[in-house]
Amino acid sequence: MPDKKNRPYSSLVVDGLSKAAARAMLHAVGFENADFDKPQVGIASTWSNLTPCNMHINTLADSAAIGVEDAGAKAITFNTITVSDGISMGSPGMRYSLVSREVIADSIETVVGAQGFDGFVAIGGCDKNMPGCAMAMVRLNRPSVFVYGGTIQPGKERRDVVSVFEAVGRHAAGKLSDIELKDIEATAIPGPGSCGGMYTANTMASAIEALGLSLPNSSAQEAISDAKRQDSHAAGEAVVRLIEADLKPSDILSIKSFENAITLTIALEGSTNAVLHLLAIAHAAKIPLSIDDFTRIGQRVPVLADMRPAGNYSMSELIEIGGIQPLMKTLLEAGLLHGDCLTVTGRTLAENLEHVQPYPDGQQVIRPLSNPIKKDSHLVILRGNLAPEGSVAKITGHEGLHFSGTARCFHGEEAALAAILDGTVVKGDVVVVRYEGPRGGPGMREMLSPTSAIGGRDLASDVALITDGRFSGGSRGFVIGHITPEAYDGGPIALLEDGDSITIDAEAREITVNIDDAELERRKTTWQKPPAYTDRGVLAKYAKLVSSASLGAVTDQV
């Protein structure tokens, strides 16, 4: 029988005569007398039928709970929210997406803290679920394991959600009929799971595994699979072992584990959102990670995965050849990963990878180190007179390394999208989408609709897009986001005018408007901050509390 030292939190809630009322309440939800002597493990489920990413997570939560109880502890399942990026994309609802990361982290922290759970499993599917779960794990610093809900299977003709967004642009360009667009819409999303390329969900699941917070290969499993159910059950068992060993996130996370996560993200050609989310998780862990660490690490790590959106393959196709573990072993053997970092298995990363087999001969998804897609990182931190505090570009090599063009400025995403679809935006333009930052949006909306429309109109090589908002992991093309200071704070992006000459140099890591400092200062004297989007509710609170994107857009910065 587990002793009291394995119940440091739940014992404070249920032990002793004075806690009779608490036990009475728990009897009503299914506790037997013997359960009060067991560690209590929360199962934080993000189940919802509002998005394919999360519609199956209740079954994974059930598997995790069974794993907990098979290991001798008591499981208690609770829910937190999710919102769908794919559904809200391009609408006012997208303002709530990044906000949901904070709500998820806050709500898991609230429930686990209030109920006195001795450990927990957190299960996430859609993009913000994962960093939200990880932030809660780090804040609470109790034995815990993250479970990724898993990737979706490909649709008809290997379609996915980005196929639909780009089809809208092709339709606007007259290259796709109404019937063809409808067919793509109806067949791209075949069932449960997160969007199928190396978009934000699969990127963050992989990064969290590299951090050591999930079990080996949890990030590379299809949502509807025996492997994913087994992973969930194993996570439940693992948390009980972590409680017995008193192994917590603070024992696992370090600057070296974050370097591992960044390295894997680069090798996989992952989403720019990883910059934002890893900064936020590190902030919660009180580990001094900065955007400049992405540059430092990126100089020595190549891009090896030929994954969508810039490449050819889906996560399901990566799973077929062995998932991310063989890639991690390759990186470890090349000295690019820290093998001594501890993980939730209780073993080090190197020990977890010891018996992993290499990829099969002839596979095309992951390149060898001797033949990378790009010799250094695709995640490029740019500074300059347009982004003195930094910005994030996704330069895969397909777009080129330089772009010069003239500014075409828009207040908000909707105006930019309309101009792209109606042909106003032409070759040589730099589309400027501003007042979409964490405070100005508020919520730092993703720009998948505009970037997909640019791609659908075959302008991805001829038009750049810059914003103080951010991009979906599905975005491709010459795109630069996270520009700080943001427009709402009077950053230089707010001062741009139509026709300004803008230069983007990925090699020099600079983004500049080709006017002198005196002209920028003159424009600042006449600039006026626009009214806030709202002065009530969660968006107003978020806008008041949120930090700069270059600091992770966190809401608890001291």
Surface-to-core class of residue 335, CB atoms within 10 Å of its CB (0-12 exposed, 13-18 middle, 19+ buried): exposed
Measured distance between the N- and C-terminal CA atoms of the chain, rounded to whole angstroms: 42
- The order of strands in the sheet holding 501-505 is 379-382, 390-394, 478-484, 464-467, 429-434, 402-411, 501-505, 510-513
Separation of alpha carbons 136 and 142, rounded Å:
10
Token pair for 253:
């996370």
**Residue labelled with tokens 């007179």:** 385
Separation in Å, CA 558 to CA 22, 110, 311, 546: 35, 19, 40, 11
Burial per residue of 392-412, b for 16 or more beta-carbon CB atoms within 10 angstroms, e otherwise = bbbbbbbbeeebebebbbbbb
CB atoms within 10 A of CB 507: 9
ω into 372 cis (within 30 of 0):
no
| Residues whose CB is less than 8 angstroms from the CB of residue 409 and which lie 6 or more positions away in sequence, other chains included | 432, 434, 496, 497, 498
- 3-state SS, residue 119: strand
Widest pairwise Cα distance in the chain: 76
Contact at 8 Å (CB) between 341 and 252?
Answer: yes
Contact at 8 Å (CB) between 491 and 398?
Answer: no
Active site residue 472: yes
Instruction: Write out the DSSP string of 165-184.
Output: HHHHHHHHTTSS-HHHHHHH
Residue of 472, 475, 548, 550 with catalytic role: 472
Catalytic residues, by residue number, are 472
